[in-house]
Amino acid sequence: MNCDSHVHIVGPLSRYPQVPERTYTAAEAQLDELQRRGSPHDIARFVIVQPSFYGFDNAATLDALDRLGGEGRGVAVIDPANTPDEALADMHRRGVRGLRINLYSPLAAGRQMGDSFDATAAVARRMKWHVQVIAPLPLLLQSQTLLSQSPVPVVIDHYGVYGKARPDSPEGDRLLQLLGRPHVWMKLSAPYRLDDGPMSTRPDREWLAALLEAAPSRCVWGSDWPHPPGADQHTGKETITPYRELSYDTLVEDFIAALPSQDLIEPILRDNPARLYEF
């Protein structure tokens, strides 16, 4: 079966409170609906990524993993200095295989990779997990040496959030060099977070080909469902901000159509995530 390697689950606000400092209130996004959307594409495995508005409270993510059983994996957000070993062991038992560092959300303004990477990687190493990083390309490249020397696997979100950079630019070349390291992975997800517009479902073919040439066995696909709103659409915590109205079917179909070879479908959607997430 295929795997969607980047989704978010959002439960009722009354049961799963969102952090007071959030810049918008997220609507519910339930697992049943996600499974319904994935089913026509033989997508039955999901990697649930902790969203920024839940802070260190991973309850919604973990509860969804419980429902998925062996077909779910999670990427949690923790305070490395204050998360006891028994909590980490419980997360592992329920399917967590990575820890996320978010330098992209408005809540992360002013943070640098070095503020948390070493401590997070130390926990990940102890648990035999990976560290997942979301950051705009310039911020990512500021930490190129740190990431290239990581003691644990590093997973980069959303094509490296490359913005206006091209694969043959100095910045693009550095990203491809980083991806060439044997422990670095890339999520081919959320083209609408890049330069082609906030509703784009089509990957940039040049970037896609370059990333796959650099690391064909370390790229995975994700939908980023339920497609969070861009930062310019955040309306404050007093009102629920709608998600982007995108077609899951179109995201899948446009991604597959953009691949340089159809022989890559099974590795990206099935084999690579099975290795990374231990399905």
pLDDT tens across 70-96, in order? 999 999 999 999 999 999 999 999 999
Burial string for 204-227 (b: 16+ CB within 10 Å, else e) reads: beebbbbbbebbeebbbbbbbbbb
Lowest mean pLDDT among 103-107, 108-112, 159-163: 108-112
pLDDT bin (cut points 50, 70, 90) of residue 178 is very high
Is 39 in contact with 4 (CB distance < 8 Å)?
Answer: no
Boundaries of every domain in the chain: 2-277
Q: What pLDDT does residue 105 have?
A: 64
pLDDT tens across 214-269, in order? 999 999 999 999 999 877 777 777 788 889 999 999 999 999 999 999 999 999 99
Percent of the chain with pLDDT over 90: 84
pLDDT bin (cut points 50, 70, 90) of residue 28 is very high
Statement: residue 125 has pLDDT above 70: yes
Q: What pLDDT does residue 109 have?
A: 53
Specify burial of residue 244 (Cβ count, 10 A radius: 0-12, 13-18, 19+). Answer: middle
Q: What pLDDT does residue 106 have?
A: 62
Six token digits for residue 27: 């609507």
Q: What pLDDT does residue 134 have?
A: 94
Q: What pLDDT does residue 37 have?
A: 98
Q: What pLDDT does residue 237 have?
A: 74
Higher pLDDT, 107 or 9: 9
- Out of 4, 157, 204, 224, which one is annotated catalytic? 224
Statement: residue 110 has pLDDT above 60: no
Mean pLDDT value of segment 98-109: 78
Q: What pLDDT does residue 24 have?
A: 85
pLDDT tens across 7-16, in order? 999 999 999 9
Mean pLDDT value of segment 58-63: 98
- Supply the DSSP string of 98-145, one letter for each residue: EEEEESSSGGGTT--GGGTHHHHHHHHHHHT-EEEEE--HHHHHHTHH
Q: What pLDDT does residue 103 have?
A: 86
Of 94, 62, 63, give the one whose Cα is nearest residue 77: 62
Q: At what angle do helices 85-94 and 59-68 cross, to 10 degrees?
A: 40
Q: How many CB atoms lie within 10 A of CB 233?
A: 14
pLDDT bin (cut points 50, 70, 90) of residue 188 is very high
- Class level of CATH domain 2-277: alpha beta
Q: Known catalytic residue: 254?
A: no
pTM of the model as a whole = 0.95
